[in-house]
Amino acid sequence: MMKQIQLLILLFVCGGTIQISAQKKKPLNVVWLSAEDMGPILGVYGNPVIKTPNLDKLAAEGVRYTHAYSTVGVCAPSRFSIITGMYATRLGAQNMRTGDYHNYKTPEEVKHNTYIGVRDKTGRNVPEYEVVPPSNVHCFTETLRREGYYCANNFKCDYQFNAPFTAWDEVSSTVSYRDCPKDKPFFYVRNFMVTHESRIWMRKDEPLTVQPEDVIVPDYFADIPEVRNDIARKYSNIEEMDRQVGELLKELEEDNLLDNTIIVFWSDHGGNLLRQKRAVGNSGLNVPLIVRYPDKKRAGTVDDRIVSLMDLGPTMLSLLNIKPAEHYDGKAFSGTYEQTPRNFAFGSADRFDEVTDMQRSVLDGRYVYIKNFLPHLPLIYRNKYREQITMNAKLIAMDRNKELSGDAAYIFMDTKPNEELYDLKNDPYEVHNLANNPNHAERMTNFRKALANWQLEIGDKGFIPEHDLIQLFWPEFLQPVTSEVIFKNEKRGKIVLESTTEGASIGYQLDKEIGSKHWNLYHSPIKLTKNQKIAARAIRIGFKASKITSK
């Protein structure tokens, strides 16, 4: 009897161990909910006016980060940092923007205009171009694809280079995680465009869900009808975004995926109005960030660590037990390879469309330090794109007519101070500069040192005129071309694909796939069956893709 009991216990323990082991081996999925142009002004972040029940629930089941920052206050340089895990200013991607790469294009669809009416700091022409990072820099999604993940993007890229065909399994406005093959885990990005700056004027005739009289007007805006109306539109767009997020979360729940999916909500940079988008301070860089784990780990907690959006890629790899690359500037803030928290977040502002400036910032969660390298320029410069927003054009006109006063006039300074320092606890709208306050002399010294050390460490490319920077990427302004793929036979019937271009990624297609837009990512020798056909193509970021070769 005793032996039978012992045998039953042993079988029970072993069975439990096998079940737990199987659960651990089951790969997790990842879903990114990417919003546009939005600071942390959701209900769960303390805004009493905007109703965001779906994101509030997501935060209640996950972790809400309070000190998350983009590296740049505008989309393309910020998204460059996210997809590469590297500072845009380290690799020369800091200028907004380098070309028409909002969404994925095939290599044949890419065109570069030689004149777009943009000049650099020295007055020389800036044509369209693609940033060329060092050969070891790739889109982090390629690491996921090598590990067997189906990577789908709906549908924005905007990386300062045309997205390589090796970065995603599919990029389109219709792709869903439901398109993932059943035998693969997925990494799915859904971009919610409704909160973008442009939707302030594009959705001006849509019904408002928040009324102008109820909005919160920042101190740096005059309290006028145009301001209240556009802030009400902004708030209403955020509520619509929350509704759309709720639909996707409901789909995941219906598909029984919540227990096996990491869900991350973030915005690509701060707010979409004046002194928000394109700004290098807290209003331009501070973003919402919510991470929900499959087991609701740390549900409802608030994390005050300093996090950069550049950390998202390394963190996802870490959570999936994949070691992030050593060269990343991004740091994993969770998972197997979690790293030491940051002391500071660093931000940059350089050329934005037709206007060139240079600012750098350091944020520690409480204070914001800004260094203005071109202080003779105004803080609010003319920008045709953003002046399509009614309130922006109105405030600029009011400033020109000397109709603004107090804090509402602060952001319209004709020239900038060399340095700025703001105490976010007592001055959340960043309108009281403490840089010359003797009580903050030591703090100023520490911030100056932090900024100088960072700029030296990364070799800040903002000091290089853009005209010259382009020639570093494309000598004589000619885009380099990736070498064609070479097929090499290996033992046991396998085939090896190679390109002589250092750092090139290779995509391949088999049989019926040949001629389609989908490319498999090559990462190890391929076993071909008899009479099986293969086509291959190579691409290095910023280079022109190679010709297609076949065998």
Rounded distance between C-alpha atoms, residue 387 and residue 489, angstroms: 59
CA 140 – CA 167 distance, rounded (Å): 8
Q: What is the pTM of this model?
A: 0.95
Does residue 463 have a cis peptide bond before it, meaning omega lies within 30 degrees of 0?
no
**Residue 462, exposed/middle/buried by CB under 10 A (0-12, 13-18, 19+)?**
buried
State what percent of residues in the chain have pLDDT above 90: 94
Active-site annotation holds for 75: yes
What average pLDDT does the structure give for the chain? 95
Hey, what are 383's tokens? 């920008």
- Hey, what amino acid is at 256? N
30-88+100-110+134-344: CATH, from 1.10.760.10, 1.10.490.10, 3.20.20.210, 3.40.720.10: 3.40.720.10
Above 90 in pLDDT, residue 221? yes
Strands, E assignment, 451-504: 486-489, 494-498
- Distance from C-alpha of 16 to C-alpha of 114, rounded to nearest angstrom: 65
Q: Which tokens in the block code for residue 245? A: 């997020």
Q: What residue has token string 């006016």?
A: 49
Structure tokens at 154: 């709906």
Residue 26: what pLDDT? 74
Q: Determine the Cα–Cα distance for residues 272 and 195; give it in Å rounded to an integer.
A: 8
Q: pLDDT tens digits, residue range 394-444?
A: 999 999 999 999 999 999 999 999 999 999 999 999 999 999 999 999 999
Residue whose pair of structure tokens reads 């044509």 in the numeric block: 127
Structure token digits, residue 168? 């995603």
Got the DSSP string for 160-205? Answer: SSPPPTTT-SEE-SS--GGGS-TTS-EEEEEEEGGGSTTHHHHTTT
Residue type, 408: A
486-550: CATH topology is Immunoglobulin-like (2.60.40)
Can 30-88+100-110+134-344 and 486-550 be said to share one CATH topology? no
Region 112-137: what's the mean pLDDT?
Answer: 97
9: CB partners within 8 A, 6+ apart: none
DSSP states of 272-320 as a string? SSTTTTT-SSHHHHEEEEEEE-TT-TTTTEEEEEEEEGGGHHHHHHHHT
Contact predicate 462/89, CB 8 Å = yes
Map tokens 């390394």 to a residue.
314
- Which residues have CB under 8 Å from 44's CB, separation 6+? 52, 55, 56, 59, 60, 64, 290
DSSP notation for 521-532: EP-S-EEPPTT-
Residue 7 has pLDDT above 90, yes or no: no
Best CA proximity match to 372, nearest among 353, 355, 350, 354: 350
Three-class SS state of 544: strand
Q: What is residue 416's predicted lDDT score, i.e. its pLDDT?
A: 98
- Grouping H, G, I as helix, E, B as strand and the rest as coil, residue 437 is coil
Query: 369 Cβ partners below 8 Å, 6+ apart?
Result: 361, 362, 363, 419, 420, 421, 444, 447, 448, 450, 451
User: Does residue 97 have a cis peptide bond before it, meaning omega lies within 30 degrees of 0?
Assistant: yes
Cα–Cα distance measured from residue 230 to residue 444, given in angstroms and rounded to the nearest whole number:
36
Tens of pLDDT, residue by residue over 13-65, are 444 433 333 345 579 999 999 999 999 999 999 999 999 999 999 999 999 99
Place of tokens 């793929």: 485
* Residue 194 pLDDT > 60: yes
pLDDT in tens, 462-477: 999 999 999 999 999 9
Contacts of 354 (CB under 8 A, 6+ apart): 117, 118, 383, 384
* Strand duo 367-372 + 520-521: pairing: unpaired
What are the boundaries of each domain within the chain?
30-88+100-110+134-344, 359-477, 486-550
Asked whether the beta carbons of 37 and 197 are under 8 A apart, the reply is yes
The per-residue pLDDT for range 282-331, each reduced to its tens digit, is 999 999 999 999 999 999 999 999 999 999 999 999 999 999 999 999 99
What is the DSSP secondary-structure string of 102-155?
SB---GGG----S--S-B-TTS-B---------TT---HHHHHHHTT-EEEEES
Q: Dig out the tokens for 378 from the structure.
A: 């105004």
Exactly one of 14, 75, 151, 180 is catalytic; name it. Answer: 75
Tens of pLDDT, residues 68-106: 999 999 999 999 999 999 999 999 999 999 999 999 999
Mean pLDDT computed over 235-253: 98
Residue 340 CB burial class (10 angstroms; 0-12, 13-18, ≥19) = exposed
Contact 366, 423 (CB under 8 A): yes
The sign of the CA dihedral 313, 316, 318, 322 is negative
Integer Cα distance of 443 and 369 in angstroms? 9
Residues 6+ apart with CB under 8 A from 192: 33, 34, 35, 36, 241, 244, 245
Q: Under a CB-based contact definition with an 8 Å cutoff, are residues 331 and 343 in contact?
A: no
Distance, CA of 78 to CA of 70 (rounded, Å) = 6
Rounded to an integer, what distance in angstroms lies between the CA atom of residue 49 and that of residue 140?
Answer: 37
